[in-house]
């Protein structure tokens, strides 16, 4: 169940999922640049331990262009702010709007990175286990539909190969590639519609849903899982309390808030930092301990 | 490959069209507007910008706007002033000229972007629509009455008084 991943992936799926959902939730609802930076760095560090530097840096250009696109779009549509840089069609393009764009981009990017970590840690089987206890029907529907993804990938390759053999598929130039892919895609859609109907009919014929549904427990909830759940619950509650008190609010319009964070609210930042960096620290200490133990053999 | 070049060219063309419809000005250039000196025999109009309605709805005002000091205590952003009326000036043309001349921040939506075919003034002096409750925004009066058309469709005549007023409750103002 561990896969290639370390300590965090070996936790019970419930505390792991809860922890990451807390971080994503707080990230999405806070505007403070300090909080977003903490979340972004924590998430990126965690993703580095999961995916490896090579994989993350190959996606780096995607993340960067995504970031810049959002950061530049905001000042084009939002013209509030006291520091105009230049005027576009009689409307000011301001420094505040630009900074706000960067802030929003950081928020979306942080949420995206955490969601990526979530999808790596909470694999399909764990997700089904999590919802299987309460919503058995939904779990079945989900598992059948998730099954479709590898199935469609395989079928895509088959159709493509057949088209290549027929001489229909061309990869010379972008437009030719696009039309060829479109032809494969339309064949794939037809096939998948037919296949899903067939699957449903077959399952009914074999008696699925006739009796009471049961589910299989994949993982056991240990004491360390309980400790981790308590840890993330307390920190998340503290952070949300700080959020409700307005500790993480930061205004961009019409003028930037005078300070990034007031000195009285620094405790909330540390709580959130502990929450964001916990998965990374867990992974790294485990890896170091493993290296150390191996060196003694 | 030939089709690729055409595709790239199409993207560049699209980008060029988007850029060419846009006018860029530096800050100094924008504010370097000249309001004509009033000579005898000139046609003139009076303009004022007023947000006094916020004072009676202060609890609804956006917190960061309240802290910024852009809402004057008496609600007068621009006291009633006389300006020269140029031929064919609409209420919006005059507002644009006056705010530029007085270096007052103003944001508007172009006539091509609104459903009613006239410009929409989103904010003056950093006070925006929805800054003071869900029904708040800028409206204009000419000689004490709210006209039925958008500001860039109302052509002013000699001696008119244009008042830009901020209302916190659009329904009540009607």
Q: Are residues A77 and A100 in the same domain?
A: yes
- Chain B residues whose CB is inside 8 A of the A253 CB are 64-65, 126
Q: Are residues A114 and A257 in the same domain?
A: yes
Alpha helices in chain A, H assignment, sequence order: 7-10, 13-29, 33-51, 53-58, 60-77, 95-121, 124-132, 136-166, 174-205, 223-244, 266-296
Reported as a single tens digit per residue, the pLDDT across A118-145 is 999 998 888 888 887 778 888 888 888 8
Q: How far is B7 from chain A (nearest CA, A)?
A: 8
- The pLDDT, as a whole number, for residue A184 is 94
Q: Are residues A143 and A125 in the same domain?
A: no
pLDDT higher at A154 or B56? A154
CB A252 within 8 A of CB A71: no
Q: Is residue A278 part of a domain?
A: yes
Contacts of A132 (CB under 8 A, 6+ apart): A139, A215, A216
Total tally of structural domains belonging to chain A: 2
Q: Are residues A124 and A253 in the same domain?
A: yes
Least confident among A78-87, A129-138, A164-173, B129-138: A129-138
Domain residues for the domain of A100 are 7-129+221-296
Domain boundary among A179, A205, A231: A205
Q: Is residue A166 part of a domain?
A: yes
- Chain A residues whose CB is inside 8 A of the B96 CB are 90
Domain boundary among A205, A235, A266: A205
- Chain A residues whose CB is inside 8 A of the B129 CB are none
Pairing mode, if any, of strands B161-167 and B44-50? parallel
Q: Are residues A150 and A268 in the same domain?
A: no
- The pLDDT, as a whole number, for residue A99 is 94
Q: Is residue A266 part of a domain?
A: yes
Contacts of A134 (CB under 8 A, 6+ apart): none
What average pLDDT score do residues B153-170 get? 90
Reported as a single tens digit per residue, the pLDDT across B62-74 is 888 888 888 998 8
Q: Are residues A21 and A119 in the same domain?
A: yes
Q: Are residues A52 and A114 in the same domain?
A: yes
Residue of B nearest to A81 (CA): B126
- DSSP letter at B152? G
**What is the percent of chain A where pLDDT is above 70?**
98
Bridge partner residues of B128 (DSSP)? B123
- The pLDDT, as a whole number, for residue A112 is 94
Q: Is B9 on the interface with A (CB under 8 A)?
A: no
**What is the percent of chain A where pLDDT is above 90?**
50
Its pTM stands at 0.79
Residue of B nearest to A78 (CA): B107
Residue with tokens 């999922």: A17
Q: Is residue A227 part of a domain?
A: yes
Q: Are residues A103 and A139 in the same domain?
A: no
Q: Are residues A43 and A98 in the same domain?
A: yes
CA distances from A122 to A29, A112, A146, A240, A286 (A): 23, 15, 14, 24, 19
Q: How far is B41 from chain A (nearest CA, A)?
A: 31
Q: Are residues A45 and A185 in the same domain?
A: no
Q: Are residues A102 and A125 in the same domain?
A: yes
Q: Please name each of the domains of chain B with its CATH number.
A: 37-173 (2.170.130.30)
Q: Are residues A15 and A81 in the same domain?
A: yes
**What is the percent of chain B where pLDDT is above 90?**
37
- The pLDDT, as a whole number, for residue A3 is 46
Q: Is residue A1 part of a domain?
A: no
Q: Is residue A262 part of a domain?
A: yes
Residue of B nearest to A79 (CA): B107
Q: Is residue A21 part of a domain?
A: yes
CB A262 within 8 A of CB A247: yes
């Amino acid at each position: 169940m561990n896969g290639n991943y370390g300590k965090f992936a070996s936790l019970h799926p419930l505390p792991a999922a809860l922890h990451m959902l807390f971080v994503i939730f707080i990230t999405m609802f806070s505007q403070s640049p300090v909080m977003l930076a903490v979340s972004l760095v924590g998430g990126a560090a965690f993703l580095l331990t999961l995916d490896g530097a090579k994989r993350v840096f190959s996606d780096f250009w995607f993340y960067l262009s995504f970031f810049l696109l959002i950061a530049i779009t905001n000042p084009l549509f939002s013209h509030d702010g006291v520091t105009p840089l230049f005027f576009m069609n009689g409307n000011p393009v301001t420094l505040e709007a630009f900074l706000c764009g960067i802030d929003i981009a950081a928020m979306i990017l942080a949420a995206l990175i955490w969601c990526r970590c979530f999808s790596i840690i909470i694999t399909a089987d764990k997700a089904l286990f999590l919802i299987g206890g309460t919503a058995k029907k939904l779990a079945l529907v989900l598992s059948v539909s998730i099954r479709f993804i590898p199935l469609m990938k395989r079928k895509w390759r088959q159709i493509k190969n057949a088209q290549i053999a027929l001489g229909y598929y061309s990869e010379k130039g972008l437009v030719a590639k696009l039309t060829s892919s479109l032809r494969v895609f339309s064949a794939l859609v037809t096939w998948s519609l037919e296949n899903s109907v067939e699957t449903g009919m077959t399952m009914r014929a074999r008696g699925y849903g006739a009796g009471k549904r049961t589910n299989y427990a994949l993982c056991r909830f240990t004491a360390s899982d309980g400790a981790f759940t308590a840890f993330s619950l307390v920190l998340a509650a503290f952070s949300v309390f700080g959020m409700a008190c307005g500790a993480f609010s930061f205004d961009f319009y019409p003028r930037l808030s005078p300070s990034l964070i007031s000195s009285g609210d620094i405790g909330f930042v540390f709580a959130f930092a502990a929450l964001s960096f916990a998965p990374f620290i867990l992974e790294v200490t485990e890896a170091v301990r493993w290296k150390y133990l191996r060196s003694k053999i | 490959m030939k089709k690729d070049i055409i595709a790239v060219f199409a993207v560049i063309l699209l980008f060029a069209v988007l850029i060419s419809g846009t006018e860029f000005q530096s800050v100094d250039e924008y504010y370097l507007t000249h309001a004509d000196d009033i000579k005898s025999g000139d046609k003139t109009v009076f303009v004022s910008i007023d947000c006094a309605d916020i004072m009676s709805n202060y609890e609804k005002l956006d917190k960061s706007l309240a802290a910024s000091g852009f809402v004057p205590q008496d609600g007068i952003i621009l006291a009633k002033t006389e300006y020269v009326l140029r031929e064919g000036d609409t209420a919006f043309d005059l507002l644009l000229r006056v705010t530029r001349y007085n270096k007052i921040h103003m944001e508007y939506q172009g006539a091509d972007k609104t459903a009613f075919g006239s410009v929409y003034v989103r904010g003056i002096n950093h006070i925006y629509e929805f800054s003071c409750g869900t029904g708040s925004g800028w409206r204009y009066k000419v000689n004490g009455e709210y006209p039925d058309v958008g500001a860039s469709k109302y052509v002013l005549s000699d001696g008119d008084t244009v008042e830009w007023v901020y209302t916190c409750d659009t329904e009540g103002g009607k």
